[in-house]
Structure 1
Amino acid sequence: MGKAVLKFLFTFMLMFFTILANLLELNIVSQLIILLLFLLSGMYFFKFEILHPFVWLSPFIILYNISIIILNLLDIRDTNISDQLILSMTLAVGTLFLYFAIASKTYSNLDYKIKTFDSVSPQIFKFLFVVLILIIAVNIILFLKSGITTKSELSASGEGLNLGYIYKLFLFTTAFLLLKEILEKKSISLFLISGFLVSLFIALILGERDVLMTFIMLGIFIYYVTYKPPKKNLYLIGILSLFLLPVLGHLKNVFTKDMTGMFSEYNALLAIFNGEFLSAGRNFETILNTYGQWDFFYGETIFWDLARSIIPGFIYTFQNSIGWFNNTFHPDIVAIGRGYGFSFIAEGYINFGYFGIVLWYLILSIIMHFLYKKSQKSTYWFIGYIYMIPYFIYIQRGDLSNFISPLLKQLIVFTIFFILINSVLKQFKRKKNIENINNSI
């Protein structure tokens, strides 16, 4: 029996024991230990390959949903759904593991066909990079001059610019230029430094933490495929970045609010569980505790997600699962222009119960597997894949539309735009070369 088969059987048994412990209602700590052993065994099965979907997504599935259980064990917050949540996490991670163990033939030592772009010059992309920074700078200045303190207030006032799309184009352009620069010069890129600083200012001044965290993730993946550093170093950077999240939460809008005493009782570890990663488990808790007050949707939310992602909002705004959840359970929060997000696990559950969780993560696995395989074929596919990784992670506190929308409206649009520019530049170079030959004859 091969080593891979033994590792698969061992991991499968841990998944089975996690479900069995849950059904036997063993104490929560025991269930969590077995669940975490299952997670680590699954990552080991895929050789801790950083770019493999199971390796980078499964820890976040656990992290986004385990927080309310940890807080309950620490007597900070009560919950009555620990058993159901552990079962749901096991089904989600188990679906990913079984799918990729069966469908993916290559687990490590991947041969990424990353090569430099063959355009005439990156000058036009550098020009775009500078223009985007200038637009972002203008928005920051408007924010600081407005006298208000948060981005939601800025949007409501109408004085600022809605730059969500600009931020994403900035990240995509930075990834493109960063990869090109590293491939050609093999040195720390100016785009790495300037991109980080711009992302940091966006996070600190405007409160857009996801821009900085996305930049960090893109940088880690690009660094990994170009320099092949020890994986443990990148895992350490990733863990440290998690501790950065709650710090950024405290520091957002730092130049427009009172910081007195903000870190007087700060607990870094507790802040992780009681901040960014709390909402998904809390929202699923709401769904489970209101069972019987809502009806199963039997797949209807997929059409919501597709319609909302495809039809522009200025034509018609379709409700998605996030909208249904917040309008149903938190109308007071919606009334002031805010929301609590949702949960990808919960979206599967409100459609088909626990089977819906399996189905939703199967859909996610198929999409990730497609992009994962394509990422090894060309540079454009690679950038597209790593660009979408943060969205696969963020939808753990959202719904399927949080992935479909950026896939259609950002990745595909940006990629076509870049390919067209590259093609025009190649045609221009070819024509110029022909002219030079004719002039020399």
Structure 2
Amino acid sequence: MKQASECPESDISDDANLRNTRQSGKDQSCNFDRRLSRRPTTGYGFDSAILLTLRNDVGILKEMQRAHARQVRAQKQAKTAAYRQHQQLRREAEHAMKAAQRASAADQRERKRLHAEARLAEVSADNSGLQSRLEELDNLLTATLEVDDYIDLGRLRKAVEHPPFAPGSLGNPLPQPDWRRFEPPAPSSLSKMFGGQARYQQQLAVAQHAFGQAQQQYAVAEANRQQRLSAAHQRYLQRCAKADAEAAAHNAELDRFAALLAAAEPAAVVEYFGMVLGNSVYPDDFPQHYRLAFVPESRQLVVEYHLPTLDVIPAAREYRYVKARDEITTTVRSAKEVKERYAKLVAQVTLRTVHELFEADRTGIVGTIVFNGIVDTTDPRTGTSVQPCLVTLRTHPRSLHGFESASGGTPRLLTAPQCLGVEEARRTCSGTSGLGVRHG
């Protein structure tokens, strides 16, 4: 890799080639994607309805992946000694402040001592937070080297496991009428001598009638139960069939997406690498907005990546508590150090992004990556919003070989003040509706 002062010439920015491609009907296309945008249009290999379904599915998967990545990052961060120390200092500061507030007003000396301890604990927690922030920024590149950025689409397939049919009480047959509960007691020998047999026959007739009615009621109730059981089972089968159909449709779209990706269909390539970048977890104040374009004939992937502003570098170098004035003062970080740290951060984001894209490309779809890092800021002279390009890099997988084991210094190649080619790529993609453009 070598230093570049302007964006390398890319196939996307060659208007003449694109015009010739359009005239000849080749499958060369320019597809841009911004992570937060979900507007579908038609590209080669997709019709509108299929692309909409694919983008919705991929968008859901991306959010699921990003949520999981955030959870993993939080769990990993919670295990670090620096994070635990910072949390402990913060708890001690809160405890000391509460102790000071509880101190008796009559004991002013003790109250002042506790107050000073609380302020010192607050300063320690703030300084610990500063250090944690700097360590997080310094390790943006090394953090991704521990992660496999490849997305196994096979693991995104849905497998339906149906719960067993649970009808509850409907699954239990109703108890049949028991004649023993209706049958009158037989008369004794003595009772028979005084007309007991006749009374018994009357009672028996009444019991048989009641038993017959009970049997009829049972037959009606049991038939109703069986009918409701059958309806519940049908609803269960319908739910299972619906879940199976949804999973089959999801898997079919995933298989179609995988086939188009294997064929280097530009829209699928952009979607896949958009998932890769969306799965990369940065600090919350990083924009993580990007646009991608892929040219299949040259196997070139162009990345326009929004970098964080200079404000991500903490302006404070250290906090101190001045007991005489009972105030916390801030030592400001020098402008030189801020710029040096920011330059290192930009370098790390650039190399991290390129590394993640190449690592995720196990089948060699991409031959060259053109990375253009821009920043959304305000021109201090005019007050207007501008997007200067801070870094540009054109590289291939072999150029990054062995860099992962580098010592972590700022690469000297990432110092370009301008980025030529971004606007050309924008104009190209804005003016070639016949090539299946998708705007982010």
Query: What's the TM-score, normalizing by structure 1?
Result: 0.22
**Structure index of larger Rg:** 2
Report the TM-score when normalising by structure 2.
Answer: 0.22
RCO comparison, higher one (Cα < 8 Å, 6+): 2
